[in-house]
Structure formats: structure tokens, C-alpha cells
């Protein structure tokens, strides 16, 4: 099953990185580095959300209707002549569902880790969000997934490159300080200041190649 790293190293990934870099005026290597951090963070948020019946139902509905994977067929076309506002608004809506009021926390953590300014990061992840959803939707359809357990397993597989025990640690430690919000911990994890010793901080460090 193709994961985030497979996507980024594919021709589709090249189109995505090039398009986002041109759209935001960032270097392609920096854009690729950011996506390698931001995309797993989005998947981690989804993985946390599907643990509730409402979250699983909402994601399943979105993947079954609007985000089926068709977007992956013509990524270069999205960026020709500039990305239109409806596409950006769609991405903003997805991020709102994933991160809510904690979105600036995520963006600032990514900024600290990547060295890119938060405004550029906000633009990039906004445009990347529908593509991440398309990737998940395509894999869901191919795997004929129709329940929350299947979605949870799919998201773990898309994170890629880790054992099932690692993925279990990722899920259980997303809220490292036990306060009910894993997004408080995302900033610490990405910046390398995880409140938990080893564990998730080390796992995400490996995920991000840092």
C-alpha cells in the first residue's frame, strides 16, 4: 500500500511539490521537507479522530463522496494559472476539521522544524490537504474499506515505514501529556521537545528524517 513517502517520491509527488513551491515562492527542497512533516501530522490527526464514531462517520462520508481520489489524476492541472480560491477554501475547511483552533500551534511547530515562515506553511498545507484526502480516498476505495477499524488501519499504513507496535505507540502517545488534546503535543513532537521520553518523539523524528 502506497504511503506518504511513496507519494512524495513519485511523479505525482513531483508535480505536487513543484506546484506548491511555484504557488508560494518557496524552494522545492524546502517544500518537500515540509510536506514530509505536515502530511503525517494530518494523518495523525485523522487517526485520532476516527477513534470516535462521529469522527469515523464524517471521514468515511467525505472519502466516499467528495474525496474519492480523482484529484490525483491531474495534479499539474490544479496549479496551471494559479490555484483557484475554491480549492484553497476546501483545504481550509479540511484543516479546520482536523486541527480547529490549534492550527496555529501546528503551523508554528512546523515553522520551527522547517525554518519556513508560518504564513507560507499555512498556504502549503491548505493546498496539500485536499490531495492528502484524495490519497486516502483512493486507498479506501481500492481496499473496499467501510468501517472505522478499516480506516484506522489504513491511516496507520499510509504513515508507512514502521512496525505495528510503532504505529500503536504513535496512536496512544498523540496526547502525550494526557490532557485530551494531542495537538498540544504536536508542537513538542515536531520541534523535538516531546514531553514523553523516547517513544513518539523518536518515532516522529524518524518519520520526518530528522
Predicted pLDDT of residue 26: 95
Report residue 102 CA to chain centroid gap. 15
Would you place residue 3 in the very low, low, confident or very high pLDDT band (cuts 50, 70, 90)? low
Would you place residue 48 in the very low, low, confident or very high pLDDT band (cuts 50, 70, 90)? confident
Cβ 130 vs Cβ 119: under 8 Å:
no
Instruction: Indicate the average pLDDT of the chain.
Output: 77
**d(C-alpha 85, C-alpha 83), whole Å:** 7
Residue with the larger pLDDT of the pair 183 and 147: 147
Cβ 188 vs Cβ 194: under 8 Å:
yes
What is the Cα gyration radius of the chain?
Answer: 16
Distances, alpha carbon 66 to alpha carbons 54, 63, 69, 79, in Å: 18, 6, 9, 20
Would you place residue 2 in the very low, low, confident or very high pLDDT band (cuts 50, 70, 90)? low
**d(C-alpha 28, C-alpha 18), whole Å:** 6
Q: Which residues contact 55 (CB under 8 A, 6 or more apart)?
A: 49
Extract the C-alpha cell encoding 127: 493546498
| 3-class secondary structure, 100 | helix
Query: Among the residues of 144-177, which ranges form H helices?
Result: 148-159, 164-172
**d(C-alpha 168, C-alpha 156), whole Å:** 9
> 151-183, pLDDT tens digit by residue?
988 888 887 644 344 334 333 433 444 444 444
Cβ 190 vs Cβ 110: under 8 Å:
yes
Query: Residue 188: which of 127, 82, 113 has the closest Cα?
Result: 113
Amino acid at each position: 500500500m502506497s504511503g506518504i513517502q511513496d507519494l512524495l517520491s513519485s511523479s505525482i509527488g513531483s508535480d505536487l511539490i513543484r506546484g506548491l513551491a511555484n504557488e508560494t515562492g518557496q524552494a522545492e527542497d524546502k517544500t518537500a521537507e515540509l510536506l514530509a512533516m505536515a502530511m503525517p501530522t494530518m494523518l495523525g490527526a485523522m487517526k485520532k479522530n476516527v477513534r470516535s464514531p462521529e469522527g469515523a462517520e464524517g471521514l468515511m462520508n467525505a472519502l466516499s463522496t467528495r474525496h474519492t481520489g480523482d484529484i490525483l489524476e491531474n495534479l499539474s492541472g490544479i496549479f496551471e494559472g494559479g490555484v483557484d480560491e475554491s480549492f484553497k477554501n476546501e483545504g481550509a475547511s479540511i484543516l479546520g476539521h482536523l486541527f480547529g483552533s490549534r492550527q496555529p500551534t501546528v503551523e508554528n511547530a512546523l515553522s520551527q522544524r522547517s525554518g519556513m515562515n508560518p504564513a507560507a506553511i499555512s498556504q502549503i498545507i491548505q493546498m496539500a490537504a485536499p490531495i492528502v484526502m484524495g490519497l486516502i480516498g483512493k486507498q479506501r476505495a481500492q481496499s473496499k474499506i467501510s468501517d472505522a477499524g478499516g480506516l484506522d488501519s489504513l491511516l496507520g499504513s499510509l504513515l508507512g515505514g514502521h512496525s505495528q507496535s510503532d504505529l500503536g505507540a504513535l496512536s496512544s502517545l498523540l496526547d502525550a501529556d494526557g490532557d485530551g488534546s494531542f495537538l498540544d503535543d504536536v508542537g513538542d513532537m515536531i520541534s523535538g521537545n516531546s514531553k514523553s521520553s523516547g517513544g513518539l518523539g523518536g518515532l516522529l523524528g524518524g518519520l520526518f528524517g530528522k
